[in-house]
Structures are given as C-alpha cells and as structure tokens.
Structure 1
Amino acid sequence: MRFLGGLLLAGVTALTLGGCSAGSVSAGILGDGSTATPTPTATASPAPSATASDDDPVSIAVVGDSITAVVTGFNEGFTTGTYSADSWLASTVDDDIVFAGGWAVAGARTLDMRNGVAPVSADLLVMLAGTNDVLREEDRQGSLENMVAIADTVGAENVLVLAIPPINAAPERATQFNVDAKALAERHGWTWFDAAAGLRDGGSFIAGLTKDGVHPTPVGQKLMGAAVRAEIEDLRADLG
C-alpha cells in the first residue's frame, strides 16, 4: 500500500495512554475494566523530526483508546515514552521503528483524543481511533473531523490511519466507519491500513481472538502489531 505524505497531520489518541488526564475521559465502553498498573516496555528513543532515510529508524507517534493503551487509566506513562507490553505497539516497535510518544486512554472517543493530544516530533502518526465513537453512536462526520484535528495537532508529515477492529455487537456500523475513515485518508493523502484483517471473520472477530467482542486477545494484539510493523516497513521509502 502506498504511503502518502500528509498535510501537517497530527495526533492519534495516544494509544489509550494519556495526554489528557484519565479523569477527563469517560471510563468508557472501551475500557477493559482492568485497574492494575501495566508493566511499561522500553522508553521511547528520541525521535528525529526530519524525514527518514532507508537507514534511519522511523519515529512514530501513536494515538488511540484502550485497544492501544490496554489498561484502563494508563495514560501518564504513554506521553513520557513508555507503553504497555500487552499493547499491539509492543509488536510494532523495534530497532528500525521507534516510539516517539502520543496519547491513548481507555474509553476515549475521537473528541477526547482531539482534546488530549499535543504535538509530537515524529516521522509518522499512527492513529487507531473510532471504536468508542461507533459504540456510542457518535455523529460520523464529527468523528472524521476530530481525526483531521488530531493529525493537525500532532503535526507529523505522514499519517497512517488504522482500521478499527471488529465490533461483534455492531458489525455493520464498524464496517461503515472503516469505509468512511479510508475515504478520509484518501482525501488527505494519508495511508489507511487494516491491521486487524487477520482477526476478522466477516464483520466479527475470529473465535478466540477477542476477550469481549471489542478488545483483541494478547494473540490478537500481537497479530495487529506485526501487521503494523510490516506496513510501516513497506512505507519507509515513501516517508518524508
């Protein structure tokens, strides 16, 4: 898939890991109910803000909800360069793809992400947003406008919009959201990618790959993260 440079795009709701205070976001339909403090993985490396060459690591900013943050309320660490070892991000980041920061909070809607994100010095913004909007039947156009505002605030030159995973209780709405998000990405010169394709059986999760019809299992998270890593590697030559 071709990665297209964006127009000063920014933010992806920091992987359910905060930028706005956890208290400002509803515990949320997307919250997984966990209250334990997650074990953060490695600290993010300083991210070069210039364009990435084939030999340089690609720095990524990430914005999301509990599918990214994994643990309810784990937001402070995310903005300082750490993330949950159970997040798909842990299977994306390596020596060639470095995490530069972002915002992600369990239960976050695109509006919460829009209000919470801050500029991040990164080559690429990876945004996984919209599941809570679909669950709460938020206005679709408003959700798309929030995604544009997130990208503008984050300010990365390139944007990768990830399809939301299946929602077993609302497969049609989730599918339509992805159709609209893909069209939005195309209009703005972003890349849209279905990292959850390997978790889908029609409009629902493959049996055994979801905990509750919304959140991927640890195996599902790893499948998504590996898919995102491969997509970023494919896009490397077009970054900048």
Structure 2
Amino acid sequence: MITAGALLKSDNFKDDIRLSHLLKDSHGRILGLTTRWVLGDDPSPTTIWHEGKKIGHASPRYQRLKEVEERCFQSDILVSTFEVLPVEEIGRDFSTNQDAFPALGVSECLGQDAYIDGAPVGKILHHYDRFFFDVGKEQIEVSQILRLSRSEADLASPPRTTRNGAMIFDKNGNMIGVVCAAEKPFYWIVPVMTILTRMRLQFLQPQDVRSFNDAIPGHLAKVRDAFTAGAQKLMSSAKSPLRSHAKEPRRRASQFEALLEEEA
C-alpha cells in the first residue's frame, strides 16, 4: 500500500525521494507530488518506483528552463508530479472531507512550529519573494519560498534521513508545504497553496480513493492479458516451421513465461 511519506525511487536520480502527497487534477487523475529532483538532470520522462514496483512516470513541465521567458519562477517549479498507476492500493489518509481544507495560506505559515510525520523539526521563520536556486545545471530565481529554521534535534538526525519531498505540517495537522532543499540549519519549503493554485490541483475525497483502489484488479488483469498475448506470440514464432531448427526462440519464450509468472 502507498502511504503518506512513502519513499520513492526514479531512474534519473540515485537518492530516495519522499512522496509529499496525492492530489488530483482537473481531469480526475490522481497525481503523486514530490520534488523536482526526482527527474535528476535528465529532461526526459522518468519511471517512478515504490518498493520495487513501477507506480508512474514523471515528466518535467519545463523542458529547458532557459527557454521560459519568465525572469523569476514561482516556487512550484521546484516540485514535480506523476500520474499514479492503479497497481497497488493507496491509503485512506490521502483523502479529506469535502468541508475541510487541510492547508495553511502562505502568510499563515510564518511563525508556525513545523512537523514531519508528527515529529517536530523546527519553525517557519521567513518568507522570500526572491531567492536563487540551483536546479539541475541551471541557476534560477524563484519567488514565494518559505524558510524553516531546523531544531537541534532535527539537525542531529541521521544523515540518511530523507527529507526531500517531505510534507511539512503545523501542530494541528494542516499542511504547510513541501521540503525542496536542505542546508544547515534550514529547509526550503514550497507552500502548498502555491502548488494547488499554480498547478490547478485539488485534494482527494474519500470516493476518489475508493474508485482508485476498486480499479486495481481490472488494471492488473489488462497487464496480465498483455503479457500473456506477448508470450503466446513469441511461442508461436518459436514453433514456426521456418524457425523450427533454431533453439534460441524457444529459450526466449520460456524466459518470457517466467517473467509473466513474476508479474502475476
């Protein structure tokens, strides 16, 4: 099951990244939110993995930063999304009630004690209208960024603790923003409200989670059918009279069947 704060891997970035949250777009597609670093320096789409299973693909919204005419970017450029495939269930914790809005406005974040997974990590002290970031091989100027002053306990946390992509909450469980970079003694935070408005995303409702989880068996059945069709095609090719003298096609078909069993 995919849960809040799950560790992700990608083909383009060697380190783990946190799943910030699951949201939906205007088409009703469920998207995973994380940092832009999941794309690495490669501008091509990248496969996203969770516990060894492919769960989606991420594509950069700006193929090359220097081609965008804006002089200063909004901070949403520091986060990335990927469409989540219905290959495993998602947790009910990703949904919220219709009458609830679990996120703070940018101005409301200042002075808030900050938490990750219920553990205090510091306090939101600053909001910047302009700040320079290194994104891949480019240096860009971004606006609407928050700075979190880390606590002594968080600074002493193990160096392998993955913070990139982690969601920051206040003491009441309201979302503040996504950790997009870290440097002692600070975290840089992309505000949730900037992400929602700039990327036109919405919070999930309970029915969104139920519909997604209900669709998993059908999606996996289609995947198995596709593998079965491919295996049968390879086996038919191996048995063809024109190729009956060759042993290699049979070995390939056998390997495909083993792969099919693993996928099932």
Q: TM-score, normalization: structure 2?
A: 0.24
Structure with the larger helix share: 1
Higher relative CO (Cα under 8 Å, sequence separation at least 6) belongs to 1
Q: TM-score, normalization: structure 1?
A: 0.26
